[in-house]
Amino acid sequence: MDKSLKFFIDRVPTPIGEAQLISDQEGQLRMFGWYEERWWPRWRARYGEVELKEMRNPFGFTKAIEAYMNGEVHVIDTLPVAFAGTPFQIKVWYALRAIPAGETLSYGALAKRIGKPKAVRAVGLANGSNPIGLVVPCHRIIGSDGSLTGYGGGLERKRWLLAHEAHHAGAGLFRKEISV
């Protein structure tokens, strides 16, 4: 990793707990997550020893997350992101960004969408290693039977996010199945 690249970190209070976000000096979001003990080892594996400078609202990301939490669920759709992963992971992560707020997709459907219908497990692994939760909406992936499946932020957060998006995106999905 280029040692001259600078990263900025901010902490974001949300209705479902404090989250952290990291951006680079180019104004791209690199990480978003709730559990620092989970994402920090992955961050270090991807980027090595880099300095994280605390910065309030880097490039407007904090305000965008706050707006999302206040009901503007589409505000995250166009936030600039930068990925560090394998070509397959990156393909999955871009496909996740194409799932609209208020909608869900199964792992199998996502595998088909990226042209790899037999790669369901690999899609699941890529989904689980997504470094930019929420903005790259891995919470919108569910089991083929419609059940909620694992989420790095915890199933209660996933349930809340899906209900929040369904309510504010106007889709009406999960309003009965998922309660907050």
Question: Above 80 in pLDDT, residue 101?
Answer: yes
Work out the pLDDT band at 2, boundaries 50, 70, 90. low
Contact between residue 53 and residue 173 where contact means Cβ atoms under 8 Å apart: no
Spatial CA neighbour of 80 closest among 161, 128, 26, 21: 26
Identify the pLDDT of residue 176: 35
Short-list 98, 117, 32, 25, CA closest to 107: 117
Cα distance from N-terminal residue to C-terminal residue, the chain = 41
At residue 173 the predicted structure's pLDDT band, cuts being 50, 70 and 90, is: very low
Cα Rg for the chain, rounded, in angstroms?
A: 16
**Between β-strands 52-54 and 29-33, what pairing exists: parallel, antiparallel or unpaired?**
unpaired
Task: Give CA separation, 17 vs 5, 32, 152, 160, 175, in Å.
Answer: 29, 13, 13, 11, 22
Tens of pLDDT, residues 23-69: 999 999 999 998 777 778 888 888 888 889 999 999 999 999 999 99
138 is catalytic: yes
CA distance 155 to 120: 20
Looking at the predicted structure, is the pLDDT value of residue 172 above 90? no
CA dist list (Å): 100 to 35, 105, 108, 133: 25, 10, 17, 15
Q: In this structure, what DSSP letter does residue 111 have?
A: H
> What digits encode the pLDDT tens for the residues 8-32?
999 999 999 999 999 999 999 999 9
Per the residue annotation, which of 138, 161, 162, 173 is the catalytic one? Answer: 138
- 129-167 residue pLDDT tens: 999 999 999 999 999 898 898 888 889 999 999 999 999
Stretch 72-94: mean pLDDT = 95
Alpha-carbon distance of 174 to 91, in angstroms, equals: 27
